Amino acid sequence: MPDKIQMRTPLVEMDGDEMTRVLWKIVKEKLINPYVDLKVEYYDLGLQARDKSDDKVTFEAAEAIKKYGVGVKCATITPNAERVKEYNLKKMWPSPNGTIRAILDGTVFRKPILVKNVKPSIPSWKNPIIIGRHAYGDIYKGQELHVTEPGKAEIVFTSASGKETRVTIMEMKEPGVIQGIHNLESSIESFARACFIYALSEKVDLWFATKDTICKVYDGVFKDIFNKVFNNEFKDKFEKAGITYFYTLIDDAVARVMKSEGGFLWACKNYDGDVMSDMVASAFGSLAMMTSVLVSPKGYFEFEAAHGTVQKHYYKYLKGEKTSTNSVALIFAWTGALKKRGELDNIPQLIAFTEKLEKATIKTIEDGKMTGDLARLADPAPSQSLSSEEFLDAIASTLNSLK
Ligand code: NAP
Ligand code: MG
């Protein structure tokens, strides 16, 4: 075996919970450690370790990502009342993803991994459609009123200096509903910057769409900020990378997406992203084939799988039963993070290795070896589905056989 690939800067590794924690270890043992002399700074974000450290470890991990620039995270339990009992927790700790996102001020991008034998529900989709969802404001931080008698609905803004601005929404002659929403220029700007950075990093076109023909002011500000950030900071970089930024109306975007071949980043306002990411994910196949990356406006990256800790499979595993859990999104979290490290530190061998591992993973599935979630969808259907570990062994053997 040739010498292992050396790294220069540590990768921030965040371990997690349940079935994904089990697979995390095997992925490293079988697919990465034999080829890469892993340099990591390890943070245990497993629920017990978070509880023991009063969740300090989550904050330390986020700070480490700020220091080194790239992190890879296993799925973690966000505790609810049941988990507090199950793990005898001191407190119902908040979601680690929420904590990390708040510290890094990031936008989450979700990208499906495609294989030839699992066809998207939309036949024209040949390349991934990546969704970038703005994660602040609009209806998710709105106020609502159900009014039961006639009256006047108004928007009132009282500035910090005491000046009042009023607009009438409606002279209501009967009962009805009213809603007030907001967003912030700084948040929209961060979102825009994260989208441009991600499109450049993936070398894909960026689409952004709103309804600025109807919401001339609200969505107009979104459109203007995207334009400003693009023209001031990214126009030349996009030209050099051979990619484009394209703005259109949301209904036009939906029509174009359905007829497209994929292969672009679709930046969505908060609600559009909520709805469209579920549509895109389910049309592409399985949650276990969806990667997720948090990109901060400062250019920090945190890679993970889009799915959770696969609790049901873990309870089977604890009972000693065979599981058939798909590790593809976990593997791609590692390859995504190592590739980014390779790009930042200029280590071509590391980049080449991640591409080879991704290729081996896809080839294994395309050769008919897969876990149960994919076996149910694949055409042709495989004669049998593999267990969690058999699948990883199959990838390891494909990887070994690739030049
Ligand atoms: P989940 O772990 O995503 O699993 C939901 C179901 O999806 C599974 O029961 C399984 O279906 C299928 N599935 C998901 N990933 C799979 C894989 N890799 N291979 C095969 N099938 C897969 O969601 P959950 O069970 O609702 O949540 C479990 C825990 O995860 C919760 O404590 C939650 O807080 C946490 N969570 C963490 C994150 C994160 O850290 N990013 C995200 C979401 C949830 P079948 O049972 O039908 O096989
Ligand atoms: Mg949703």
> Is 135 among the domain residues?
yes
Q: What is the pLDDT of residue 363?
A: 98
User: Measured from the CA of 20, which atom of ligand 1 is nearest?
Assistant: 18
Do residues 194 and 165 both lie within one domain?
Answer: no
Name the closest-CA residue to atom 4, ligand 1: 310
Q: Contact at 8 Å (CB) between 107 and 135?
A: yes
> Is 112 among the domain residues?
no
Do residues 132 and 269 both lie within one domain?
Answer: yes
Do residues 339 and 230 both lie within one domain?
Answer: no
Q: Contact at 8 Å (CB) between 182 and 137?
A: yes
Distance 274 CA to ligand 2 centre (A): 4
pTM: 0.88
Name the closest-CA residue to atom 47, ligand 1: 373
Angle at 13 between CA 277 and CA 278, to 5 degrees: 10
Domain boundary among 251, 284, 317: 284
Q: What is the pLDDT of residue 1?
A: 59
User: Measured from the CA of 75, which atom of ligand 1 is nearest?
Assistant: 40
Domain boundary among 284, 301, 335: 284
> Is 113 among the domain residues?
no
Instruction: Name the residue among 9, 27, 8, 131 with its Cα closest to residue 65.
Output: 9
Distance 307 CA to ligand 2 centre (A): 13
Distance 311 CA to ligand 1 centre (A): 6
Q: Is the CB of 288 under 6 A from ligand 1?
A: yes
Q: Is the CB of 78 under 6 A from ligand 1?
A: yes
Q: Is the CB of 304 under 6 A from ligand 1?
A: yes
β-pair partners for 151: 172
Q: What is the pLDDT of residue 105?
A: 79
Name the closest-CA residue to atom 16, ligand 1: 288
Do residues 279 and 137 both lie within one domain?
Answer: yes
> Is 348 among the domain residues?
yes
Using H for helix, E for strand and C for coil, what is the string for the chain? CCCCEECCCCEEEEECCHHHHHHHHHHHHHHHCCCEECCEEEEECCHHHHHHCCCHHHHHHHHHHHHHCEEEECCCCCCCHHHHHHCCCCCCCCCHHHHHHHHHCCEEEEEECCCCCCCCCCCCCCCCEEEEECCCCHHHHCEEEEECCCEEEEEEEECCCCCEEEEEEEEECCCEEEEECCCCHHHHHHHHHHHHHHHHHHCCEEEEEECCCCCCCHHHHHHHHHHHHHHHHHHHHHHHHCCCEEEEEHHHHHHHHHHCCCCEEEEECHHHHHHHHHHHHHHHCCHHHEEEEEECCCCCEEEEECCCCCHHHHHHHHCCCCCCCCCHHHHHHHHHHHHHHHHHHCCHHHHHHHHHHHHHHHHHHHCCCCCHHHHCCCCCCCCCCCCHHHHHHHHHHHHHHCC
Name the closest-CA residue to atom 48, ligand 1: 373
Do residues 276 and 333 both lie within one domain?
Answer: no
Q: Is the CB of 291 under 6 A from ligand 1?
A: no
> Is 261 among the domain residues?
yes
CA–CA distances in Å: residue 355 to residues 182, 242, 336, 339 = 42, 21, 9, 8
Do residues 188 and 80 both lie within one domain?
Answer: no
Domain boundary among 254, 284, 314: 284
**Phi and psi (nearest 5°) for 3?**
-60, 150
Q: What is the pLDDT of residue 141?
A: 85
Name the closest-CA residue to atom 39, ligand 1: 75
Name the closest-CA residue to atom 12, ligand 1: 310
Do residues 135 and 237 both lie within one domain?
Answer: yes
Which phi-psi region, left, alpha or beta, contains residue 163 (left: φ > 0; alpha: ψ -120 to 50)?
A: beta
Q: Which domain holds residue 71?
A: 1-106+292-403
Do residues 125 and 242 both lie within one domain?
Answer: yes
Residue among 287, 293, 294 whose CB has most ligand 1 atoms within 8 A, to mutate:
287
Q: What is the pLDDT of residue 214?
A: 97
Which CATH number fits the domain that encloses residue 394?
3.40.718.10
> Is 111 among the domain residues?
no
User: Measured from the CA of 372, which atom of ligand 1 is nearest?
Assistant: 20
> Residue 286 is which amino acid?
S
Do residues 206 and 59 both lie within one domain?
Answer: no
Q: Is the CB of 97 under 6 A from ligand 1?
A: yes
β-pair partners for 111: 291
Considering its fold, how many domains does the chain have in total?
3
Do residues 208 and 123 both lie within one domain?
Answer: yes
Do residues 135 and 172 both lie within one domain?
Answer: no
Q: Is the CB of 141 under 6 A from ligand 1?
A: no
> Is 34 among the domain residues?
yes
Per-residue pLDDT of the chain (403 residues), as tens digits, is 568 999 999 999 999 999 999 999 999 999 999 999 999 999 999 999 999 999 999 999 999 999 999 999 999 999 999 999 999 999 999 999 989 988 887 788 999 999 999 999 999 999 999 999 998 889 988 899 999 999 999 999 999 999 999 999 999 999 999 999 999 999 999 999 999 999 998 999 999 999 999 999 999 999 999 999 999 999 999 999 999 999 999 999 999 999 999 999 999 999 999 899 888 988 988 889 999 999 888 889 999 998 999 999 999 999 999 999 999 999 999 999 999 999 999 999 999 999 999 999 999 999 999 999 999 999 999 999 999 999 999 999 999 999 7
